[in-house]
Amino acid sequence: MAEGENSKGRREFINGGLRGAMLMGFGALTGLLLDRGQAEDTVWQIDPDLCTQCGNCATYCVLEQSAVKCVHAYVMCGYCDLCTSYFEPQPNALNTGAENQLCPTGAIRRTFVEDPYYQYTIDESLCIGCAKCVKGCTTFGNGSMFLQVRHDRCLNCNECSIAKVCPSRAFRRVPASQPYLLKVKPHAG
Amino acid sequence: MRFVPVVAFLLLLPLLPGSALASERFPPPDFETGYKQPQTITPHARWPVLEYLDVFVLAGALGLSAYLVMKKRSRRGIAALSIFSLAYFGFYRQGCVCAIGSIQNVALGLMGSGYHVPFSVVAFFLLPLLFALFFGRTFCAAVCPHGAIQDVVLLRPLRVPGWLEHTLGLLAYIYLGAAVVFAATGSAFILCEYDPFIALFRLTGSFEMVTLGVCFLVIALFVGRPYCRFLCPYGVLLGLLSRVSKYRVTIYPDKCIKCRLCEDSCPYGAIREPTPEPVAVGRAAGRKTLLLFMALLPVLIAIFSWMGVGIGPSLARSNATVRVAERVWREDTGKASGTTKASSAFRYTGQPPQKLYKEALQIGRRFRTAGGLFGAWVGLVIGLKLIALSVKRRRFEYEADRAACVACGRCYPYCPEEHVRLKALAEIMAKEAVT
């Protein structure tokens, strides 16, 4: 039994040594990880200049209704009567009839401002982030509508599952203090 | 006036360059009615201070768990705490941030790819490891929501045969190696992608993920904690650390009387019986096997790392850059017709493909190295397992295996000594109440 006691003591000694080594390793690791230039925490966002409106945002988010929504930068908008985000390519008439609308969920609201201008507002509770309107606006319009991750909905997954399938790699981590990449190009002249 | 934008649009149509470059096709209106443009709203994320709350809750839960396991020895307390953890870290925080996934953030952060690991993730990675160094796997016992969800559904645990337990146990090591490889190369976070329970915590998810989660839960009815025992990569780290932990889970409060009552109490196969007296003949043969396996270890490492280098290129396809580069190259050399979303998105940027190829080749080389290291890791793990299996250590009492025990406390009430302890305590308390 004395032998057993001895080996027990020896094992305890080795364990203690290993524990100490591990603790030092943890210290070094913490220092290394936290040191990196005091960088900020990040959130996911879409770079609207890279987005190709492929439609993956609507289907690949882990949420039932995607955290990606269409956002409207009013300063860039032309307030067109024939809005290519709002209307089907060949609308019957330029009115709010459902058959004329491009948005599959009717999430864009068209309101009259003054002749001949109309304001287009996104109802985010209806928007599914399919980017159909974004495509219409970027291809034929001013590009004032674009997709953005809405941070009140986004779970900020460790690895964004839309980012994984984004063909144009428009998703990237941005500093949490500036969580949006808005298009705000002022009008020239 | 009304049709000005339309006419402008028609005139501009042939001139449209790419597409996103377009802005200013229709000049901003000069409103005459005093209309004010609405602001683009930017809703805020979760309050950042709550991140510190998560860390605080984690630290508190770990401390409480260690107390309940080591000092109080209360199965009921451990169960209650694990239900709290399931509710908070699982259903409320929806499984993110989690210690298991943090392995990948740490791997990516250490590779110096410009990725900064958030403070909370560092804390979630290190705190449970630190606790494991002193108190064993108390994180698994009552803090991890993945462990808790499997623990609460356990209905009728079946005993997994030893050979199967050992073999399946290796999967976790391989999974850990793979997760580090994919994360460190900046390609994928496979632990998050194939996490079985996250879809259940979020109460939404793809069909595959929900099915996977339900399958795991059904298995967990009859096989205790299948994910923890056979897959969890973080459990591997915790297991390794708890081998040298300062305090350990003991089935008995004071000493083992070898009554054998606890033998079948562990649903996770972590109780080791006392060894019979060693026989001289068996010892000689055992020594020979041990020497053989020790000689085999470097051979295994060499073979597997060679294989790892070989599979490097196929692993590299998990990287998006490599995939696009390959596709663009195939299109340019006429090996593939048409374009994919990714290749057309790349062409849209107007960058020269040579730059992309160069980048992809660089990633490919990194994958060769990573594949080799991964292979060496697999070889090492298999070799060490063989060695560990052939080392016979003498045990005089019933013991909870340091690495395999998740400190759930189910064996405590099976020990008659434990009942003695509790009664004695009750008597002392009664006496104290009188005086």
- Asked whether residue A119 falls in the same domain as residue A53, the answer is yes
Residues shown for chain A? 189
- Asked whether residue A19 falls in the same domain as residue A71, the answer is no
Higher pLDDT, B19 or B102: B102
Chain A residues in contact with B133 by the CB 8 A cut-off are 19, 22-23
- Asked whether residue A96 falls in the same domain as residue A123, the answer is yes
Say what the alpha-carbon torsion angle B152, B154, B159, B162 is, to the nearest 10 degrees: -40
Say what the alpha-carbon torsion angle B397, B401, B402, B406 is, to the nearest 10 degrees: -130
**Of B39, B44, B189, Cβ closest to residue A158:** B189
- Asked whether residue A138 falls in the same domain as residue A83, the answer is yes
- Asked whether residue A32 falls in the same domain as residue A125, the answer is no
A79 lies in some domain: yes
Q: Is B70 on the interface with A (CB under 8 A)?
A: no
pLDDT tens-digit readout, A68-121: 999 999 989 999 999 999 999 999 999 999 999 999 999 999 999 998 899 999
A185 lies in some domain: no
Q: Is B202 on the interface with A (CB under 8 A)?
A: yes
Nearest CA in chain A to B32: A114
- Asked whether residue A12 falls in the same domain as residue A70, the answer is no
- Asked whether residue A46 falls in the same domain as residue A7, the answer is no
Rounded Cα gap, residues A109 and B132, in angstroms: 57
- Asked whether residue A46 falls in the same domain as residue A65, the answer is yes
Quote the domain boundaries for residue A13: 2-38
Q: Tell me the nearest-neighbour CA distance from B431 into chain A, angstroms.
A: 37
A186 lies in some domain: no
Rounded Cα gap, residues B202 and B186, in angstroms: 26
Please answer yes or no on whether B43 and A150 come within 8 Å at the CB atom: yes
- Asked whether residue A113 falls in the same domain as residue A154, the answer is yes
Tally of domains within chain A: 2
Chain A residues in contact with B199 by the CB 8 A cut-off are 62
- Asked whether residue A46 falls in the same domain as residue A33, the answer is no
A188 lies in some domain: no
pLDDT tens-digit readout, A131-174: 999 999 999 999 999 999 999 999 888 889 899 889 988 999 99
The yes-or-no verdict on residue A33 having pLDDT over 70 is: yes
Nearest to B409 by CA among B16, B56, B81, B22: B81
DSSP state letters, A120-174: EEE-TTT-----HHHHHHHHHS---EEEEE-TTT----SS-HHHHH-TT--EEEE
In this structure, of A116-120, B21-25, B387-391, the range with the lowest mean pLDDT score is: B21-25
A180 lies in some domain: no
Question: What pLDDT does B47 receive?
Answer: 75
pLDDT tens-digit readout, B155-181: 999 999 999 999 999 999 999 999 999
- Asked whether residue A157 falls in the same domain as residue A96, the answer is yes
- With a pLDDT cut of 70, the percent of chain B lying above it is 93
Question: What pLDDT does B17 receive?
Answer: 43
A18 lies in some domain: yes
The SS3 call for residue B434 is: helix
Nearest CA in chain A to B45: A151
A182 lies in some domain: no
- Asked whether residue A170 falls in the same domain as residue A145, the answer is yes
What is the complex's ipTM, to 2 decimals? 0.85
